[in-house]
Amino acid sequence: MKIDSVDFFYLAMPEVTLEADGSQDALLVRVAAGGHVGYGECEAAPLPSIAAFVCPQSHGACQPVSASVLGRELNSPADIAAIAADVAYNSMDVLQAAHTFSGIEMALWDILGKMRGEPVWRLLGYRASHGKTPYASLLFGDEPQQTLERARDAIARGFTAAKFGWGPIGRGTAQQDADHFVAAREALGGDGVLLVDVGQIFVDDVARAAERLPALEAARVVWFEEPFHASALASYGELASQCTSVRLAGGEGAHNVSMARHLIDYGGIGFVQIDCGRIGGIGPAKQVADHAVAKGITYVNHTFTSHLALSASLQPFAGLASHVICEYPAAPKALAVEMTGNHLLPDRSGKIHAPDAPGLGITLDAAAVRRYQLDVELRVAGRTLYRSPSFCD
């Protein structure tokens, strides 16, 4: 079958703030091929991502993503890989292209799965979808007491693992940060899994990041996430060599397989966190999962938006029984909840599963999509290159 159309839907909350919450908007992608419809989601700035799909060509290696997608054959996983390779080559100089293609690629897997009546994880070669333990993703409080209360709340909601991120960490002294780590550990008790995410705050400054290691290790933090810029491999490598019990985590910024592989090989991370909505979709993420297995480190999804994105993010490591922990949007904004018709809820043992259903196993809620959709129009030289389509049931 041939890829007939690709449509983008820019959804946003009525108010989008500067808080570290990626669920305030979404770029939904709908692909139609051979009578089937598939969905994906870019974890990306919507406007530049749409622009990268429709922009006029600048030269042979700076073509719009559409040039390598529309009209292509889609009958097998190999076809998806071939399209991905062409996007990488033909849109080599369109930096945004990887983010744009990520949502499209998910939708291609969704279509292929629906066509074959198979879940995507099976198309990837897995025989089973193993349950994952969700962690609550929370922001550090302004004061340690707030951090403690948020951790208690997560425990009360049934979580056994919690990740604290951003907030004041790295902006004051190492001792101030340590007080937050102690508070979180106190609330979680001895058994709770504690994870810390500092959102690139140290840029590439190994010494400042290393100052936090003793307190992180005393609080038995399992991973120390994104101390540095996504490309700062050497800084990761230096810090990793100074860790005793805590392991570094990173990879959400990877927009191709090499970036993620190099964080493992040169950066010495112990947990590789992949956002399928940025790395180019599910296929590249599976390659990273394979590499993680080969290197004896742990693959984790990065997901902060809808359950469509969540399902896509679980597929690449669904079959890895020993890669147990998963990111689970604990308090997403209404649009991220409402845009899908079904949700991935914990089973009786608290585990999350990639759906055992054709494709990604997620339906869309057309009324919600329409409710949150923003109209977008891109015009160049008097021609309309893009105009938001309407979302039909």
Give the nearer residue to a second copy in terms of CB position, either 128 or 380: 380
How many Å apart are CA 8 and CA 28, to the nearest integer?
A: 6
Would you say 12 or 174 has its CB closer to a second copy? 12
Q: Does 46 bind a second copy (CB under 8 A)?
A: yes
Interactions with a second copy, residue window 154-213 (CB under 8 A): 199-200, 203-204
Shortest CB 99 distance to a second copy, Å: 5
Please report how close the Cβ of residue 137 comes to a second copy at its closest, in angstroms: 13
Q: In this complex, which beta carbon is closest to a second copy, that of residue 44 or of residue 339?
A: 44
Minimum gap (Å) between residue 233 Cβ and a second copy: 6
For residues 94 and 64, the answer to whether their CB atoms sit within 8 Å is yes
Strands (E), 43-169: 133-139, 161-165
Near a second copy by CB under 8 A: residue from 71, 73, 76, 89: 89
Report the residue from 6, 31, 37, 44 that binds a second copy according to the rule CB under 8 A.
Answer: 44
Interface characters, 94-133, with a second copy (x: CB under 8 A): xxx-xx----------------------------------
- The 3-class secondary structure across 177-192, one letter per residue, is HHHHHHHHHHHHCCCC
153 binds a second copy (CB under 8 A): no
Among 1, 32, 47, 155, binds a second copy (CB under 8 A): 47
- What amino acid occupies position 84? A
CA dist., res. 219 & res. 185, Å (int): 6
Alpha carbons within 13 A on the beta-carbon side of 117? 0
* 259 contributes a contact to a second copy by CB under 8 A: yes
- Residues near 85 by Cβ (< 8 Å), separated by ≥ 6? none
Which member of 93, 142, 347, 356 binds a second copy (CB under 8 A)?
93
Least separation in angstroms between CB 283 and a second copy: 15
Position 355, amino acid: P
* Chosen residue from 150, 261, 302, 307 binding a second copy by CB under 8 A: 261
Stretch in the footprint of a second copy (CB under 8 A) among 118-126, 182-190, 224-232, 342-350 = 224-232
Which residues fall within 8 angstroms of residue 84, CB to CB, at 6 or more apart? 101, 105, 280, 281, 283, 284
DSSP state of 319: T
Give the binding range for a second copy (CB under 8 A) out of 1-9, 38-46, 311-319, 348-356. 38-46
97: Cα separation from own chain's centroid: 16
Can you say whether the dihedral through the CA atoms of 122, 125, 128, 133 is positive or negative? negative
Is position 294 an interface residue for a second copy (rule: CB under 8 A)?
A: no
**320 binds a second copy per the rule CB under 8 A:** no
CA distance linking residue 259 with residue 253, whole number of Å: 9
- Figure out which of the listed residues 32, 45, 293, 324 binds a second copy, where binding follows CB under 8 A: 45
How far is the CA of 196 from the CAs of 207, 250, 272, 329, in angstroms?
A: 18, 11, 14, 16
- Ranges within 6-25 binding a second copy (CB under 8 A): 10, 12, 16-22, 24-25
Q: Would you say 253 or 329 has its CB closer to a second copy?
A: 253
Alpha-carbon distance of 199 to 166, in angstroms, equals 6
Binding a second copy (rule: CB under 8 A), the pick from 1, 4, 32, 57 is: 57
Q: Which is nearer to a second copy, 24 or 129 (CB)?
A: 24
- What are the start-end ranges of the E strands in 123-186? 133-139, 161-165
Q: Toward a second copy, which CB reaches closer, 178 or 369?
A: 369
Using CB under 8 A, which of the segments 33-41, 225-233, 323-331, 355-363 binds a second copy? 225-233
Q: Which two tokens stand for residue 291?
A: 């590499």
Cα gap 281→83, rounded to integer Å? 12
Tokens of 110: 């969704």
